Homo-oligomer: A and B are copies of this chain.
Amino acid sequence: MSPLSPQRLDASAADFDRQLRELISWEQVSDSQVEARVRDIIAAVRRDGDAALVALSNQFDRRNVTDFTQLELPQSELQQALEAIPAAQRTALEAAAARIESYHRHQLQQSWSYRESDGTVLGQQITPLDRAGLYVPGGKASYPSSVLMNAIPAKVAGVGELIVTVPAPDNQLSPMVLAAAAIAGVDRVITIGGAQAVAALAYGTQSIAKVDKIVGPGNIYVATAKRMVFGAVGLDMVAGPSEILVICDGQTDPDWIAMDLFSQAEHDEQAQSILISWDSEFLERVLASMQRLLPTLERAEVIAKSINDRGAFILVDSPAQAVAVSNVIAPEHLELSVEQPETWLAEIRHAGAIFMGRHTPEALGDYCAGPNHVLPTSATARFSSPLGVYDFQKRSSLINCSASGAAQLAGIASVLARGESLTAHARSAEMRGESYEQ
């Protein structure tokens, strides 16, 4: 195996800003061919419903089904999977689910209201979605942890019906995925994927009720389909390749840091692992650990390609410069492998999840620490958040004016409405004012 050679950057270099921008630049471009295929798939599902799902699953996932009912898994099959997997796996899934649920309960938003001195009440009512669709990738990236991370926040929010779609290429499904669906209390599992799954969830078919929101990551077809149904249905973000940024003060075991970087790189060849330190010798020690540890790993080839194509070591001159670079990267996963990581938080402006201290590798967060592992990628942490209970709740404003409160507000509204030439608005407000004054 050829030696690992992550890109080396020095933050004191004259053109570092440009190098950094190039390092992290990533734009998912649907070429026009992908767009045309996705458009056709969506049109077919809207036109033919269940029959299109049957045909497309046979075509793309090499299934051999004749009827929609064969695409749905009965609850009994989920329970069977739960009973069939090894006890250690079941215990681990249940422990992870309990911790994920416990953390996410802290995210529940409550309705609130307040009364003003004239009796007017203002507030906000929180309600869960009626129905949500959870896209779970299939095949080699079919992860039971994804089922827990997608389904549990929806359940905690109180969503009425949870529909999981997971493709079963060549009829392959992970028993752990089905077991996780059983543990999470998923209502329906449909073994479809790709753009056809997104279309079915967004518009409904004879057998699948249109959902209110679709969450979960997917490949370029899924991402393109999500972009096309935007507006018709709620969406989470379009996910890019996964990334980690590790900031280390040089005092963590270099083997640990090497393995943390590898844990990201093993996801896929486009995954990005970046290490920042102000200790240049430590960077060399980590590289030596990586060379030594690589051959011990099952996915060594994927890791090597990811590290060599997209990995980077960045030398900075200080912790402050490390934070500044991190805020530009806005990483999905930020590992602060430093002493007293809590003192760093106030300066961290953008990150999906922050793993604090030497004993908090990303892998713990991926599975069982409690917070969600569905996180904003590709610098979208600048404006978006981990998947959470709040993604399955929505808000309604409440306004209940007293007669005197309405009269008071009518005066303001009338001036502003007439300033916008909206006379009916003005009259509607004024009528309440006139009534109170009489």
Contacts and interface: CB of A to CB of B under 8 A. Distances in A.
Interface of A: 27-28, 88-89, 91-93, 95-96, 103, 106-107, 112, 114, 120-122, 124-125, 127, 129-130, 143-145, 176, 212-213, 223, 227, 230-234, 237-238, 253, 255-256, 259-260, 262-263, 265-267, 293, 296-299, 303, 334, 341-342, 345, 348-357, 359-372, 375-376, 380-386, 388, 390, 394-403, 405-406, 409-413, 415-417, 419-429, 431-432, 435-436
B122 A369 contact: yes
Nearest to A143: B420
A232 B227 CA distance: 12
A112 B388 CA distance: 14
A417 B297 CA distance: 13
Given A363-B428, A381-B394, 13 more contacts: A92-B412, A95-B412, A130-B382, A144-B420, A259-B428, A263-B422, A263-B428, A342-B400, A359-B402, A366-B413, A367-B429, A385-B395, A388-B395
A428 B231 contact: no
A415 B88 CA distance: 7
Nearest to A223: B231
Report, nearest first, the 6 A-B pairs whose CB atoms are least far apart. Answer: A234-B383, A371-B397, A356-B400, A262-B424, A359-B406, A353-B397
A234 to B, nearest CB: 3
Contact of A348 (B223, B388, B396): B396
Given A92-B412, A106-B124, A394 B400 contact: no
B130 A349 contact: yes
B266 A383 contact: no
Contacts of A263: 422, 424-425, 427-428
Nearest to A351: B396
A230 B293 CA distance: 40
